[in-house]
Amino acid sequence: MSDNVEKYIKRKVYKSENSRIAQKFVDAGLEKIRACINCGTCTGSCPSGRRTAYRTRSAIRKALTGDESVLQDIDIWLCSTCYYCYERCPRDIPVTDMIIKLRNIAVEEGYILDSHFTLANDIFYATGHGVPANGEANKKWQDLRESYGLPPLPPTVHSYPEAVKECQTLMKEAGFRKLLDNAKKLKEERKSVEENKEKEQEKEKESK
Amino acid sequence: MSEKKNWRYGFFLGCVIPNRYPMIERSIREVFEELNAELLDLPGASCCPAPGVFRAFHIPTWLVIAARNISIAEELGVNPITGCNGCYGTLRDAWYDLEHNPEEKKHVNQLLAKVGRKYNGNLEPKHVVQALYLDMGLDYLRDHIKYKFKDLKVAVHYGCHIVKPSDKRPWNGEYEAPEFLDEIVEITGAKSIDYKDKYMCCGAGGAVRTAVKEVAADFTREKLVNIRDAGADIIINCCPFCHLQLDLGQVEVNNFYHDIIGEPFKIPVIYITQLLGVAMGIDPNRLGLIKNHELSGVSPFIPVEPFMEKIKQQLT
């Protein structure tokens, strides 16, 4: 790392810029984000940014300055993790890893899409596979396997029920169960706050 | 069966290969058998877990489940090998990260001890293509080629995580324009054609397909337009999730973007060991290229018959 980059990372920052999110990056050993000079190489290399509103540079900038809307926007979930930004960053910031870390913080705070929650909770946690083939609903995939001369279920967690339990134990120990339960709670709380707001607005309209 | 094998690996299946594209599993097993390489099953292996979704939800969970999967291969004393870029990304990144972070490794082992497992990290996770190209080598593969294509134009799609992040991959830092997969394709006599933005992502990864299918399909649309413009007969890839996105995604592109693509796309999507297998003289039935069922709504979603025609015309 050049002295110049080192200087950027270690520089003193005005407290409002030393955001909660930025602090989480530092805590996770990802203080390199402070070396960002907002050059835009990441955004320019991003195949998602060519077709969506996702701007890598902007997400990194928001994380640095404490604009927490970055956690709520769907934008950070439109990164396909192709790693061009990571490879091409002239300041050697592992940009893609930063985006993944940002997503971790978002989930921690209950910002997870319904489809992703279902995938994590109802599929991965329950079966040990991200794309399962077990059960009656997946019968056609078992038949397809057999048609190619393979056993209906692969020798994975699908054939070893105790292995599913083992994975669940590890997920619990690593904090995944708690994380998902908490995310669900936060999502529901936010939903009910919004619903109450709507109800009150309607009441106001009626009383007028 | 007692015959000595040249190579032994622990076949990490992942999810998409066994559960959605079993023809890929069959073709990898057949080609490795023919190349005198043994693939041991990894009993009770789980999702890798997928790097773009589960790592993005919770890095510590991703790391410990990945370490568990690697430890199953370690118990058998073999390198884990995968035919999926996503699994490769997870197993390889987790392996690399744990090797460079002793504290993390200690913590992972504390968790694994609770289920009676141990992670060592002494066996590098490999990709099927890495085994073909680096362990076996082109000359060895060439010795097994029995038939050569005379006229087959191939659009090679690498996918992202087989080469990136490049500091955690075995390709000497090459990521902008790798050639190893093209070289394997060309020993079959097929021609790997140039096309615009060849190394671009398929669009499925990073939780994008699950988040907004239309966005993933728009990546795919751009790729397919470029591939068709270059006159490709088939697409060759080395990742089942790219494979799914280019196959099932092709149907979605035809559906979502029919007003801007002109003719609907119908480019056969073939996995590298299916192509290599037919050139090695393996019966297409054993490579999952022939449909033997009446099921509907299953892969492949784009018919591979045009590719079978080329085989019939040229490989005799």
CATH code (residue A23): 1.10.1060.10
Q: Are residues B196 and B293 in the same domain?
A: yes
Tabulate helix, strand, coil % of chain A (nearest 5).
65, 0, 30
CB contact under 8 A, B61 and A176: yes
Q: Which two tokens stand for residue B116?
A: 């009676």
The size of the A-B interface in CB pairs under 8 A is 215
Task: Give the pLDDT confidence score for residue A154 in this predicted structure.
Answer: 98
One-letter amino acid at B30 equals E
Assess whether A176 and A148 both reside in one domain: yes
Q: Are residues A81 and A120 in the same domain?
A: no
**What domain count does chain A have?**
2
pLDDT grade for A33, boundaries at 50, 70 and 90: confident
Domain boundaries, position A136: 114-207
Could B293 and A143 be called an inter-chain contact, meaning their C-beta atoms sit closer than 8 Å?
A: yes
The pLDDT-based confidence of A141 (bands split at 50, 70, 90) is: very high
Residues A176-205, mean pLDDT to the nearest whole number: 94
Of A108, A141, A175, the domain-final residue? A108
Q: What are phi and psi of A137, to 5 degrees?
A: -60, -25
Note whether A155 contacts B13, CB cutoff 8 Å: yes
In chain B, count of helices (H) and strands (E)? 15, 8
Distance from CA of A17 to the nearest CA of B (A): 25
Helical (H) or strand (E) element with B129: helix B128-130
Average confidence score pLDDT of chain A: 91
Query: Which chain A residue lies closest to B213 (C-alpha atoms)?
Result: A78
CATH number of B284's domain: 3.40.50.11810
Same domain, A55 and A79: yes
* pLDDT at residue number A19: 64
Is A191 a residue whose pLDDT tops 70? yes
Residues of chain B with pLDDT under 70: 1-2
Residues in chain A: 208
Put simply, the chain B residues between 109 and 128 with a CB less than 8 A from any chain A CB are: 111-112, 114-115
For A58, phi then psi, to 5°, come to -65, -40
Confidence band (pLDDT; 50, 70, 90) for A1?
A: low
DSSP assignment of B178-246 equals --HHHHHHHTTT-EE---TTTT---S-TTTHHHH-HHHHHHHHHHHHHHHHHTT-SEEEES-HHHHHHH
Burial of B231 (0-12, 13-18, 19+ CB in 10 A): exposed
For residue B151, the model assigns a pLDDT of: 97
φ and ψ of A51, to 5 deg: -135, 0
Are residues A132 and A63 both part of a single domain?
Answer: no
Number of domains in chain B: 2
Compute the distance between CA of residue A84 and CA of residue B298 in angstroms, rounded to an integer.
Answer: 33
Domain span at residue B170 reads: 147-314
Of A83, A107, A157, the CB nearest to B58: A107
